[in-house]
Amino acid sequence: MSDQDQPLLRITGLKTWFGDPAHPVRVVDDISFDIFKGETFALLGESGCGKSMTALSMMQLVPSPAGKIVAGEVHLKSQDLLQLSERQMRTVRGKHMSMIFQEPMTSLNPVLTIGEQIAEVLRLHSSDNEASIQAQVIDALNAVGIPDPQQRLQDYPHQLSGGMKQRVMIAIALAAKPELLIADEPTTALDVTIQAQVMDLLRKRQNNLGMAMLLITHDLGIVADRVDRLAVMYAGELVEQASREEFFNNAAHPYSRKLFAALPNLGKREQSLETIKGNVPALDTEFKACRFADRCDRAWGLCHTEKPQWHKLADGHQVLCHLYAHDVTQVKIDNIVSLKEKTDKTIKSSKNESMPVYNHVLMQAKGLKVHFPIRKGLFRRISNYVYAVDNIDLELRKGRTLALVGESGCGKTTAGKALLQLIRPTAGRVSYLDNELTEIKGKALQRLRAHFQIIFQDPYASLNPRMMVGDILEEGMQAQNIGSHTTERQQRIDKLLEQVGLPVTAKYRYPHEFSGGQRQRISIARALAVEPDILICDEPTSALDVSVQAQTLNLLKDLQDRLGLSYLFITHNISVVEYLAHEIAVMYLGRIVEQGPVESVLSEPQHPYTQALLSAVPVIDKEHSREVIKLEGELPSPINPPEGCHFHPRCPQVKDECKQIYPEVTQIDSEHQVRCHLY
């Protein structure tokens, strides 16, 4: 075998266990794969399956003493990294193998400047003088697209946006020009426009340096666009390996197929998303059969009694599944439908065809503004304002969903809180039916709050960890005088838990005892406890895996159909918008730039920002992809928004008029409107 055919990295039989050796938690359990020079290999799977721990094991960064690598080999070229001491590994990390961690804010040192953090890596792996190192730091920042790198050397992490922090992490990881880069969910917390910039940057640097990359993700869209080969991970082990083309055309493992079927899109609006029943098995189990069997709708006798073996389906495509064993009957093989048939199969929703169609306005905002004062000096005088929400109009109709989309920092969440008077507007009017909310205070406003509730982005942070679920649900009912006595409220709690798909016994447990998806269901149940008409959903699926996201979206759609609820759905996930929303409002720097029916806005976006936003969304079906419109720079500061159209500094179609006058509303048709001088 030539050097060209030799893998850069070869992992064989890797096992990383945690806890008591007598009853270990098998986080990584006997996995093997290769990565070749210059290629991008993806490790795909849901939270908790062991992806990140695989990467940490490769780097010998497993938390000690709780975790331990108990078996396996990790060869970088001819060297087994697991045989190296900690001192020897320090010469490998950064120089030969480097890692971008998932959360840049917690990975960057808050007390060191970004220039110093990059210089640290260079000092460790080179003997260059200080002047040369400083020049290399500037080159590293310039290479990752940080503007004015000479000026930004002295910035601290908290002075940078999320996208900028991620770029600094990439600069640190690539400073010593490693042979292999591990990117652990590098775009999870980023908006689609910044996500596209970061992934393009990684690809460019990869090509320039000729390095290999291990991409850890749960995003099928990124995998479809960015990788050469991939492996699917479930419950600590790999279940499928294939090239990108082979996987997306002929995904073989039932778990892989379920992930595709759970993805929301425009074509599934009239049906329920497919979900994966049950939960991932506990990893302290000593598995003696298929780990996916209890959740698999194609499982048969052998799946519950014997461990499956690897089966080769095509060149480079193999699957760990009994359905492909040689002695399986043709009937069993026929039971495996193609990916396209499975994806196109119509799963009828429980929606009642005779259900009334609602359309009347429940809540309306006119000229809504939220300006936060900036105070300075000894007497705390106001020196300026943060123009978080700056003159927007919104309507929420009964039984309908309005999606509010845009980049982080554009004012989406502030607008939602201002509608509910959780933040008092600076100006404008917010009416609920015949009630002007901006003029109502105290107990009168508290009584009205039963009609509109909010589901927060992080269900764990928004649930009281010291209260049992039953007490959390009852708290709101007591505040709104719902239920004449405890027994009646307990009956309603039982019904709420049943509505959101949780057992009645859940009311006797604490939030930490539930998974992320289950905690989000509890948050939804808490919001429903006071019988609201309107729910503000603030990124309720952003922290969820695709299968749990499908369960949550099915629940929200079903509740809307049965109860006539209205949703303001705040998100940057366009596929969720396609599936759930009726109307969409696109927000940029505190203002709405385009608004209209989902089908109209998504199929024929008019505003250059909307076009750029949609073009940056990674898609699996290449027939529906758009040419990516690359936006230069970052979202401007809401403290000093640009004159004229706020988007003009980044707009590829800017005119002189755009720099001077903010555009008026132009009606594209009776429901679709845009603010842009092009029209």
317 closest CA partner among 397, 258, 245: 245
Whether 220 and 260 have beta carbons less than 8 Å apart is answered as yes
Residue 611: its pLDDT value, please?
94
Q: How far apart are CA 97 and CA 212, in angstroms?
A: 10
Residue 84 falls inside a structural domain: yes
Burial 176-213 (b: 16+ CB within 10 A, else e): bbbbbbbbbbbbbbbbbbbbbbbbebbeebbeeeebbb
Residue 245 falls inside a structural domain: no
Whether 133 and 126 have beta carbons less than 8 Å apart is answered as yes
Which single residue is written with the structure tokens 């800017």?
Answer: 654
Q: How far apart are CA 432 and CA 534, in angstroms?
A: 10
Q: In this predicted model, what pLDDT tens digit does every residue of 524-537 receive, in sequence order?
A: 999 999 989 999 99
Residue 111: its pLDDT value, please?
93
Q: Checking DSSP bridges between strand 237-243 and strand 361-376, what pairing results, if any?
A: unpaired
Count of domains observed in the chain: 3
Residue 351 falls inside a structural domain: no
Mean pLDDT of the chain: 88
Q: In this predicted model, what pLDDT tens digit does every residue of 431-453 receive, in sequence order?
A: 999 899 999 999 999 889 899 99
Domain boundary among 297, 313, 344: 344
Instruction: Give me the half-sphere count of Cα atoms (radius 13 Å) on the Cβ side of residue 41.
Output: 26
Residue 208: its pLDDT value, please?
87
Q: In this predicted model, what pLDDT tens digit does every residue of 550-577 receive, in sequence order?
A: 888 998 999 899 889 999 999 888 889 9
Same domain, yes or no: 188 and 260: no
> Is the Cα torsion angle 61, 67, 73, 79 positive or negative in sign?
positive
Residue 572: its pLDDT value, please?
81
Residue 167: its pLDDT value, please?
84
pLDDT of 340 higher than 60: no
Q: In this predicted model, what pLDDT tens digit does every residue of 296-328 receive, in sequence order?
A: 999 999 999 999 999 999 999 999 999 998 555
Same domain, yes or no: 93 and 141: yes
Amino acid in the structure at residue 477 = M
pLDDT of 386 higher than 60: yes
Residue 483: its pLDDT value, please?
85
Q: Is 396 helix (H, G, I), strand (E, B) or coil?
A: strand
Same domain, yes or no: 269 and 189: no
Same domain, yes or no: 424 and 337: no
Residue 623: its pLDDT value, please?
63
Q: How far apart are CA 14 and CA 236, in angstroms?
A: 10
Which one is predicted more confidently, 473 or 270? Answer: 473
Domain boundary among 292, 315, 344: 344
Residue 499: its pLDDT value, please?
83
The full 3-state SS of 414-426, as one line of letters, equals HHHHHHCCCCCCC
Residue 244 falls inside a structural domain: no
Which one is predicted more confidently, 13 or 193? Answer: 13
Average pLDDT over residues 423-428: 96
Same domain, yes or no: 585 and 547: yes
Same domain, yes or no: 304 and 413: no
Q: In this predicted model, what pLDDT tens digit does every residue of 217-242 receive, in sequence order?
A: 888 888 988 899 999 999 999 999 99
Same domain, yes or no: 102 and 183: yes
Question: Any idea what the CATH number is for the domain that residue 541 is in?
Answer: 3.40.50.300
Same domain, yes or no: 227 and 257: no
Query: By residue range, what is the domain housing residue 321?
Result: 251-344
Q: In this predicted model, what pLDDT tens digit does every residue of 588-631 receive, in sequence order?
A: 999 999 999 999 999 999 999 999 999 888 888 766 666 778 88
Whether 299 and 306 have beta carbons less than 8 Å apart is answered as no
* Per-residue confidence band for 349, with pLDDT thresholds at 50, 70 and 90: very low
pLDDT of 582 higher than 90: yes
Report the DSSP beta bridge partners of residue 12: 73
- Give pairs for 244-249: CB < 8 Å, separation 24+: 246/314, 246/316, 246/317, 247/317, 248/224, 248/339, 248/620, 249/339
Which pTM was predicted?
0.84
Domain boundary among 297, 315, 344: 344
The region of weakest confidence among 11-20, 146-155, 434-443 is: 146-155
Q: How many CB atoms neighbour CB 591 within 10 A?
A: 21
Same domain, yes or no: 132 and 104: yes
* Per-residue confidence band for 191, with pLDDT thresholds at 50, 70 and 90: confident
Residue 155 CA: distances (Å) to CA of 101, 147, 170, 194:
20, 12, 16, 20
Same domain, yes or no: 326 and 365: no
pLDDT of 14 higher than 70: yes
Strands (DSSP E) contained in 553-615 are 566-571, 583-588, 591-597
Q: How many CB atoms neighbour CB 72 within 10 A?
A: 18
Residue 332: its pLDDT value, please?
44
CB-based burial label for 247 (10 Å; 0-12, 13-18, 19+): buried
Residue 2 falls inside a structural domain: no
Which one is predicted more confidently, 183 or 205? Answer: 183
pLDDT-above-70 percentage for the chain: 93
Residue 212 falls inside a structural domain: yes
Residue 355 falls inside a structural domain: no
Q: How far apart are CA 355 and CA 369, in angstroms?
A: 37
The region of weakest confidence among 115-119, 254-258, 356-360 is: 356-360
* Per-residue confidence band for 33, with pLDDT thresholds at 50, 70 and 90: very high
Same domain, yes or no: 214 and 334: no
The full 3-state SS of 225-278, as one line of letters, equals HHCCEEEEEECCEEEEEEEHHHHHHHCCCHHHHHHHHCCCCHHHCCECCCCCCC
Residue 62: its pLDDT value, please?
93
Residue 350 falls inside a structural domain: no
> Which residues contact residue 182 at a Cβ distance below 8 angstroms, ignoring those fewer than 6 apart?
55, 58, 59, 97, 98, 99, 100, 213, 214, 216
Residue 4: its pLDDT value, please?
58
Same domain, yes or no: 369 and 316: no
Residue 543: its pLDDT value, please?
66
Q: How far apart are CA 539 and CA 553, in angstroms?
A: 12
* Per-residue confidence band for 172, with pLDDT thresholds at 50, 70 and 90: very high
pLDDT of 97 higher than 80: yes
Task: Please tell me whether the peptide bond between 65 and the residue prior to it is cis, using omega within 30 degrees of 0.
Answer: yes
